[in-house]
Amino acid sequence: MATKTTKAKTLPGDMTEVEYLARTLRVNHAGEFGAKQIYAGQLAVLGNSEIGDTLRHMAEQEEVHLKYFSDELVQRRVRPTALHPLWRVLGFALGAGTALLGKEAAMACTVAVEEVIDAHYEAQLGHLPANENELKKKIKKFQAEELEHRDIGIDHGAETTLGYKFLYRAISGGCKAAIWLSKRI
């Protein structure tokens, strides 16, 4: 049975399987790169606090995710997003900025980002070709770790942040925009 990604092009703009996989790898690599930058910013501010070890744990997992997608880009000859310089600056600024607002705001950032990534990975899993078992397995593993990060954020008071709903919506909206852009540019 054919999936959306294996159908022949029927309309302008329909992607081939190869195009869909390239877009998937590009955006996942960009997202993990952005996550690395967010945690770097948070660690720059909160690294010596009581939450420092927790932030380092999450950052180390993001580094593993990033390495996997970096290797996949090379092996499959897929170009990364051209927006890396922007994601480097914005990711670090988001991490440091929320950390400057306090531990709870940093955790609110984590919750917002990870919930968007969870939905993003879930959507991908429904569209990846059947023969991409290893990629699916890795995405599921990474998705579980992102949800672990979200739960850590909640456990550390994310929802007690002053203006939590506003901050959450702003960050999740920014993440969705970054995903949309990174797929295409």
pLDDT above 70: percentage of residues in the chain: 95
User: For residue 10, what pLDDT band results from cuts at 50, 70 and 90?
Assistant: low
183 token code pair: 């797929």
What DSSP line would sit under 101-135, residue for residue? Answer: T-HHHHHHHHHHHHHHHHHHHHHHHTTS-TT-HHH
User: For residue 85, what pLDDT band results from cuts at 50, 70 and 90?
Assistant: very high
Q: Could you report how far apart the first and last alpha carbons of the chain are, in Å? A: 31
Q: Mind listing the pLDDT tens digit for each residue in 123-160? A: 999 889 889 999 999 999 999 999 999 999 999 999 99
Check if the beta carbon of residue 117 is closer than 8 Å to that of residue 27: no
pLDDT of residue 16: 84
Identify the sign of the CA torsion 177, 119, 38, 68. negative
Helices (H), the chain: 17-46, 52-76, 84-100, 103-125, 133-155, 164-184
120 token code pair: 């993003």
pLDDT above 90: percentage of residues in the chain: 85
Check if the beta carbon of residue 111 is closer than 8 Å to that of residue 100: no
Identify the sign of the CA torsion 55, 147, 37, 106. negative
What structural domains and CATH numbers belong to the chain? 17-184 (1.20.1260)
Q: Which residue has the higher pLDDT, 65 or 6?
A: 65
